[in-house]
Structure 1
Amino acid sequence: MKKLLYISLLLSLLTACKENNKEKFALLVQEWQGKEIVFPQDMAFTRFVTEPVDYRIPDAEYKVLVYVDSVGCTSCKLQLPKWQELIAHVDSATNGNVPFIFVFQSKDDRELRYILKCDNFDRPVCIDRNNRFNSSNRFPQDITFQTFLLDKDNKVKVIGNPVHNLAVRDLYLKQITGMQYQEALPKTTLETDKAEYDLGTVKEGTTKKQTVTVRNTGTSVFKLKGFTTSCDCTEATCDWKELQPGESGTVTVSYEAEQPGDFYRTVEIYGNIPNNSLMMSFIGTVE
């Protein structure tokens, strides 16, 4: 019964914008819940890709495995500053007793080293050469399901990416710390003036800002939990924490144009609304 309740809760958190994939996600979550992750005995860890370090995966009641494949934008997938924030929070809550294990595929060692250096991410990282680790476990292709909270036997307790989804982050923290959820707030509804914003042409190396108006269209106060973005090049900020029924507020979204080409970025607003979040998308071209 507990397992079924967990699966139901996780699906409600992960499928806010993917209702048509619910059956697929349900099967995937059921497949991975309780599954043992196989770690090769000879895993080699480095700092900044090229500096070998003597690191062994410690025995611990819980550990977090972050696997990132080489498909798509590496920087968008990694979001290392957000991982650093989460690690600091977990370390504070557990006296550093929860190890975070990072395993990356690399299509370009120089690019990965550059990203790690820029974000000053000096934690040990394993590069999955020749796809060995992935072949042993056959991780899901969707990045949403490539991060796992494992127990002391390396069995999956929670599946989902806690830096891409704040509700999944709560599941991790609840499992790790044993803290119960705060009492659920009454649901309200939130609307933006648009679902998609065209930022037009943005010059490479510059930052384009877009002001978004959000309105509480429900009957209860909306309390902001936070934002997530699809890439580190995008940031969302605001100067308010809650909106009364009928009240509007603004969110400033900043996009830093890193490389030429068309782009598609998303920002999700989290709070006491249906599906826990509301997504906005931003498109344009970098020249």
Structure 2
Amino acid sequence: MNFRCLVCMFLPLFLFSCGNKKENIKELLQVWSQKEIKFPDELIFSVKGKDTVDFSISGKYKILTYVDSIGCISCKLQLGKWKIWMEEVDGESMGSVKFLFFFSPEKRKKFLETLRFENFFHPVCIDDKNRLNQLNHFPSDMTFQTFLLDENNKVLAIGNPIHNPQVKELYLNIIQGKQMEQEDKSMHIITKVSIDRSSVSMGSFDWQEEQKSAFTLKNTGDKPLVIQDVTTSCGCTTVAYSKEPLQPGGATTLEVVYKAERPEHFDKTITLYCNTDNSPLTLKISGDAK
């Protein structure tokens, strides 16, 4: 896939961003398109951080994800979603895709606890010395620390499929050999949506108590509104919503549940993908779990 195709596919995902950010994304895509990822000579993979396994990184396609030590570990990992999507990809690709997980955790004990809690049995490389990043100098934005590679380790696409369903679709299309073309939005059914609020404060509460809130969406356009997907910035936040098309003038609710993993101040993001010109929409929840 050439640079022009990558830009056509990715820039629409950031139409809500400022002009400077769009230019930065274009520059980033230009740098990484067809770039070869370099791997350290000696790689040790293990299951749950204790059982070393013989794991080859060779494959027709590879999905490489790198996670550093900055920020919330569970927010970045989202291992439950990875497990579900890995099964989907294996079914679609007949096992031609190799998943490569490289983690460089500052708090190794906390990281291993997360692997065991999520029952994540896929081999991972715990890169304590951060060698993979030192060889490649990955972008600092975690959005661009996941890559689809070919058999020669060259970058075919960049972006985190777990955090963005459009990137997920892009990866699958490339793996399945489908022709990639720039989307023509005029061919899509587009409507309008209003939301009662863009952020919710849950206040202070006992961190062991589950918290619930809601956002109300109204279809203010003249075509049915379809919620295509909802993603969250952390596994501690879940969202329930109707997948049925919402008719013009109708309203629906996004039911949000937050379950803290520990006492903390939190500020989480919910990203809503739907058939509107301003999609994706960003919602926020915040509070103090004590």
Matched, 1:110 2:109: yes
Deviation at 1:67, TM superposition (A): 0.6
Deviation at 1:251, TM superposition (A): 1.0
Deviation at 1:6, TM superposition (A): 2.4
CA distance in 2, matches of 1:142, 1:114: 25
Deviation at 1:107, TM superposition (A): 0.9
Please give the secondary structure, in 1, of the residue aligned with 2:74: helix
The answer for the alignment partner of 1:198 in structure 2 is 201
Structure 2 runs not aligned, ≥5 long: none
Percentage of matched positions with identical amino acids = 39
The answer for the alignment partner of 1:62 in structure 2 is 61
Matched, 1:211 2:214: yes
Distance 1:180 1:193, change over 3 A: farther
CA distance in 1, matches of 2:281, 2:21: 18
CA contact (8 A) 1:12 1:275 kept: no
CA distance in 2, matches of 1:17, 1:117: 37
CA distance in 2, matches of 1:19, 1:79: 30
CA distance in 2, matches of 1:18, 1:84: 34
CA contact (8 A) 1:105 1:129 kept: yes
Return the letter of the residue paired with 2:3: K
Return the letter of the residue paired with 1:158: A
What's the TM-score, normalizing by structure 1? 0.94
Deviation at 1:26, TM superposition (A): 1.3
The answer for the alignment partner of 2:128 in structure 1 is 129
The answer for the alignment partner of 1:12 in structure 2 is 12
Distance 1:15 1:99, change over 3 A: farther
CA distance in 2, matches of 1:18, 1:115: 36
Return the letter of the residue paired with 2:280: S
Deviation at 1:42, TM superposition (A): 0.7
Return the letter of the residue paired with 2:39: F
- Matched residue count: 286
Matched, 1:239 2:242: yes
Out of 214, 231, 237, which is 1:228 matched to?
231
Distance 1:199 1:19, change over 3 A: farther
Out of 274, 279, 283, which is 1:276 matched to?
279
Could you report, residue by residue, the CA deviation over 1:95-141 in whole angstroms, capped at 9, with x for unpaired residues? Answer: 11101000000112211111011111011100112121110000111
Listed as ranges, the matches of 1:81-120 within 5 Å are 81-120=80-119
Please give the secondary structure, in 2, of the residue aligned with 1:246: coil
Moved over 2 A (4+): 14-20, 178-185
CA distance in 2, matches of 1:202, 1:172: 40
The answer for the alignment partner of 2:73 in structure 1 is 74
What's the TM-score, normalizing by structure 2? 0.93
Structural RMSD (CA): 1.9
The answer for the alignment partner of 2:46 in structure 1 is 46
Return the letter of the residue paired with 2:286: I
The answer for the alignment partner of 2:27 in structure 1 is 27
Return the letter of the residue paired with 1:70: S
Deviation at 1:262, TM superposition (A): 1.3
Could you report, residue by residue, the CA deviation over 1:39-84 in whole angstroms, capped at 9, with x for unpaired residues? Answer: 12211111111221111212x2211001111111111000001111
Deviation at 1:159, TM superposition (A): 0.3
